[in-house]
Amino acid sequence: MIPLAENSGPTVIAAVIGLGSMGKGMALSMKRAGLDVVGYDIMPGAVDRFVAEGGRGAASPADAAADADIVVSVVVNGAQTESVLFGPQGIAATMKADAVFISSATMDPAVARNLAKRTEALGLHYLDAPISGGAAKAARGELTIMASGSRKAFETARPALDAMAGKVYELGNAAGTGAAFKMINQLLAGVHIAAACEAITFAAKQGLDLDKVYEVITASAGNSWMFENRVPHILAGDYAPLSSIEIFVKDLGIVQDMARSERYPTPLAAAALQMYLAAAGAGMGRDDDSSLARLYAKLSGAELPGSAKEPQSL
């Protein structure tokens, strides 16, 4: 991330819609890079926290986007993205001509294509730009961004992309391609988390030293980024949500819809989705996605760190 040079031209104004764990980090990364950043979130406290760190706050999405050259939407899904653009307080009617809308939500590629068509019909640019890397990388401006859109969309979005990302993949000139790449990532991520939770709970069932299992596996061929990242949550008995069960209920559901439309079998992703659904049904939907280990423990009688504190309803 390279800060904008002084006196290099007019200050770029960026609006961020959604100041959660990802959006706030992205907003602060842009601010550090010299952009004038205004933020909005449905939770007023999130806006207050952003303002306390030097940003500007807005009372509505439309107010945030009114003067922006770049709008970054960091919401959950396609339906929320559509609401940001075209809902009762939608920003499409208030964005200035030639501004760019950067969509960071994970969604079906067909939805991304439709939103891009509607947005571009209004004289705006749409960059399909889902993200990966988690809250820590968002805060450091080191996200991976999988982006597709017109050359003009990329050019207009460049100051924000440079500030937010360690790596920007430019994947084509049509919206929907970035979304498709993200769904491949989410298929793998969802399956890998489920496999990590299955493996570490299986180790617990055998009475193995779980800290030693973690040490051995992370130095062995069976390791994965998700095993290395999620198993420490399990070892600490800490399921505070960094990425929730419901995220993968949504994302693996999209994978299944896409696969069904293509008549393509995805049995591993389908099996993982059933585990996320079961965990959500057991009351863990808003907990960290490593909570799949708790579900495996309940099904098998295995004991995990902190299991004595589990609520009886699980």
* Residue positions annotated with a catalytic role: 182
Q: At a CB cut-off of 8 Å and minimum separation 6, what does 19 contact?
A: 27, 39, 40, 41, 43, 46, 47, 49, 50, 74
Distance CA 232, CA 226 (A): 10
Q: At a CB cut-off of 8 Å and minimum separation 6, what does 103 contact?
A: 73, 81, 112, 115, 126, 127, 128, 129, 130
CB atoms within 10 A of CB 115: 27
| Host H or E run for residue 69 | none
DSSP string, the chain: --PPPTTSSSPPEEEEE--SHHHHHHHHHHHHTT-EEEEE-SSHHHHHHHHHTT-EE-SSHHHHHTT-SEEEE--SSHHHHHHHHHSTT-STTTSPTT-EEEE-S---HHHHHHHHHHHHTTT-EEEE--EESHHHHHHHT-EEEEEB--HHHHHHHHHHHHHHEEEEEE--SSTTHHHHHHHHHHHHHHHHHHHHHHHHHHHHHTT--HHHHHHHHTTSTT--HHHHHHHHHHHHT----SSBHHHHHHHHHHHHHHHHHHT---HHHHHHHHHHHHHIIIIITTSBGGGHHHHHHHHHT---TTGGGS-TT-
